Amino acid sequence: MRTSVIAAAAGTLALTLGLTACGGGSDRGSDDGRLVVGATPTPAGEVLAYIQDNLAKKAGLDLEIKEFTDYVTPNTALQEGSLDANLYQHAPYLKDFNASKKTDLVPVAEAYLPPMGVYVKKAGDAKTAKDIGKLRTGATVAVPNDTTNEGRALQLLAAKGVIGLKKGVGGTATPEDITSNPKKLTIKPLDPAQLPRSLDDLDAAVINNNYALDAGLSPKKDAILLESPKGNPYNNVLVVKKGDENDPRVKKLAKLLTSPEVKRFIENKYKGSVLPVEEAAREGN
C-alpha cells in the first residue's frame, strides 16, 4: 500500500506533535506485522515502491509507504508513532532535528547518496548554463533555508570558489559566514520545496536532489555544479524511533535497501543522479 500526505501545515503539525511524549520505541500497534514507512516521493518513495513490488513479499515483509512533501512531518509523525520508520533525510539533518525538536530518532542504515546541485533557468545565458563561474555580478542565488542544507549549499558554492567561508564552519555555515563574495551574489534562503518553482525568478538555485527530480530535472545532466561523493556525509538514512533499532521488520528493510537488487535499480533508474552507498563510496575514492 502506498499513500500520499500533503503537508500544507507542516509547521503547525510539527508544533503539535512536538508536544507528544518522547518515550523510546514506537507507540503503533504492529499485530499484523506491517511496517509503515514515511518517505518523500523521489527518490525514497520510488526505491521503497521497488522493494514493495519486487522484494518485500519474499523477505516476509509487509510494507506500507506514506509519502510526504516536506522535511518536517515525516519526523514528527515517526516520533508520535503514526510511522514505524522513515527514509528521506541525511544524518546531519536528523541530528539537528533531534536537537531542535527534542525528538529521539536514530539512523539504522545508509541507503543512497542524492547529490545536491546548482541549477540555472533553462532560458538563461548559455555561458552561465555551463559554468557557475560565469554567473553575473550581483546575481541572486537561492539556497535551502533549513540549517543543515543551507550550510551544505554554501559549502558547495565555496568548493567551486564562488564564495569564501570562515575556516572550520563546515555544514553549519550561514550567509553570515561568507568572507569573500567577488561577484557580490545575493544569497536568498528559501523553503527547499519552493526552489525548483522559483528558478525562473532567480539566476541560480542550489536544490536538494529529491526536489530537483520531482521537478523533472536531472542532477547528472542539468546541474551546472554537482556535489562530489568524496567524503560526503549526506547519504540518506533509514530512521526509526530510539528503541526500535532491532525490530525484525526494520532489519529486513535495512537489508533490502542495501541489497544488490536495489543497487541495480538505483543505477538503472537514476543513471548517476542518485548513487547507491557502495557506488558513492567508490566514486569518492
CATH number at residue 252: 3.40.190.10
Domain boundary, last residue among 186, 211, 226? 226
- 91-102 tens-digit pLDDT: 999 999 999 999
Number of separate domains in the chain:
2
Of residues 223 and 10, the one with the higher pLDDT is: 223
Determine the pLDDT at residue 22: 36
The answer to whether residue 25 scores a pLDDT higher than 60 is no
Q: What is the mean pLDDT of residues 1-15?
A: 47
pLDDT of residue 125: 61
Domain match, 125 and 215 both:
yes
Q: Give me the domain span that covers residue 222.
A: 117-226
- Percentage with pLDDT > 70 across the chain: 84
Residue with grid cell 567561508, as numbered in its chain: 165
Q: Are 55 and 48 in contact, with CB atoms under 8 Å apart? A: no
pLDDT band of 17, cuts 50, 70, 90:
very low
Residues 6 and 146 in one domain: no
Q: What is the pLDDT of residue 21?
A: 34
Same domain, 150 and 56: no
Give me the chain's average pLDDT, please: 88
Same domain, 131 and 212: yes
> Among 226, 248, 264, where does a domain finish?
226
Last residue of a domain, one of 176, 197, 226: 226
Band (pLDDT 50/70/90 cuts) for residue 131 is confident
Complete DSSP assignment for 38-94:
EE-IIIIIHHHHHHHHHTHHHHT-EEEEEEESSSSHHHHHHHHTS-SEEEEEEHHHH
pLDDT of residue 152: 97
Domain match, 105 and 210 both? no
Higher local confidence (pLDDT), 31 or 202 = 202
Amino acid at 128: T
Range with the largest mean pLDDT of 6-20, 24-38, 113-127, 162-176:
162-176
What one-letter code names the amino acid at 45? G
Residue 34 has pLDDT above 60, yes or no: yes
Please compute the mean of the pLDDT values over residues 235-253 and round it to a whole number.
Answer: 98
Angle between helices 91-101 and 73-80 (to 10 degrees): 60
CA 143 vs CA 20, 100, 103, 115: distances in Å = 32, 21, 26, 14
Q: Are residues 194 and 276 in the same domain?
A: no
The conformation of residue 176, written as its DSSP 8-state character, comes to G
> Model confidence over 137-161: pLDDT tens digits?
999 999 999 999 999 999 999 999 9
pLDDT-derived band at 121, boundaries 50, 70, 90: confident
Contact call for residues 1 and 53 (beta carbons, < 8 A) = no
Res. 13: pLDDT tops 80: no
**Whether 152 and 108 share a structural domain:** no
User: Is 275 or 10 the better-scoring residue by pLDDT?
Assistant: 275
111 and 239: one domain?
yes
What are the contacts of 45-52 at 24+ separation with CB within 8 A?
45/2, 46/269, 47/87, 47/111, 47/112, 47/257, 47/262, 47/265, 47/266, 48/87, 49/2, 50/262, 50/265, 51/253, 51/256, 51/257, 51/262, 52/2
Mean pLDDT across the stretch 118-147?
Answer: 84
Radius of gyration, CA atoms only, the chain: 19
Give whole-number Cα distances, 207 to 68, 120, 156, 170, in Å.
18, 10, 11, 18
Three-state SS at 34: strand
Residue 11 pLDDT > 90, yes or no?
no
- In this structure, the answer to whether residues 46 and 139 fall within a common structural domain is no
> CA 236, 213, 191, 149 torsion: positive or negative?
positive
pTM value is: 0.85
DSSP 92-160: HHHHHHHHHHT--EEEEEEEEE---EEE--TTS-TTTTT-GGGPPTT-EEEEE-SHHHHHHHHHHHHHT
Is residue 42 located within the same domain as residue 28? Answer: yes
Based on the fold, state whether residues 142 and 92 are members of the same structural domain: no
Question: In which band, very low, low, confident or very high, does the pLDDT at 23 lie, cut at 50, 70 and 90?
Answer: very low
**Whether residue 273 sits in one domain with residue 141:** no
Predicted confidence band of residue 32 (pLDDT cuts 50, 70, 90): low
Q: What is residue 206's predicted lDDT score, i.e. its pLDDT? A: 98
Reported as a pLDDT band with limits 50, 70 and 90, residue 283 is low
